[in-house]
């Protein structure tokens, strides 16, 4: 997996409405887990690591929102939303086929 940039981490932190950097290592781990899950689902690794793609960013943010923290009453809702996004990405040729082939 590619390194998580400081800007990307900050944007995911904002998505969580988290102002403290105290849990940045947990958030980074969750970003990497989301990326790995996208790749396992069939998304190209380059695409899963693309920090500028709005659909990837939404999928990663939703995954992180589902898995972040211990007491998350909305985790199932976000987990279902993430799975729907991931499945949609894996149906699009632009996310599962390289431009060379």
Predicted TM-score of the model (pTM):
0.94
Give Cβ neighbours of residue 58 (< 8 Å, ≥ 6 apart).
85
Q: How confident is the model at residue 101 (pLDDT cuts 50, 70, 90)?
A: low
Report the interhelical angle of 54-67 vs 75-89 (nearest 10°): 150
Interval 79-99: pLDDT, tens: 999 999 999 999 999 999 877
Interval 34-65: pLDDT, tens: 999 999 999 999 999 999 999 999 999 999 99
Separation between Cα atoms, residue 8 and residue 89, nearest integer Å: 20
How confident is the model at residue 68, as a pLDDT? 96
> Is 27 or 99 the better-scoring residue by pLDDT?
27
Contact 63, 82 (CB under 8 A): yes
């Amino acid at each position: 997996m590619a390194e998580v940039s400081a800007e990307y981490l900050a944007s995911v932190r904002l998505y969580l409405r988290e102002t403290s950097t105290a849990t940045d290592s947990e958030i980074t781990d969750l970003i990497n887990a989301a990326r790995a899950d996208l790749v396992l689902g069939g998304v190209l690794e380059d695409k899963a690591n693309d920090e500028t793609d709005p659909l990837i960013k939404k999928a990663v943010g939703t995954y992180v929102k589902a898995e972040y923290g211990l007491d998350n009453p909305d985790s199932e809702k976000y987990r279902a939303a993430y799975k729907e996004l991931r499945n949609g990405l894996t149906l699009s040729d632009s996310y599962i086929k390289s431009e060379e082939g």
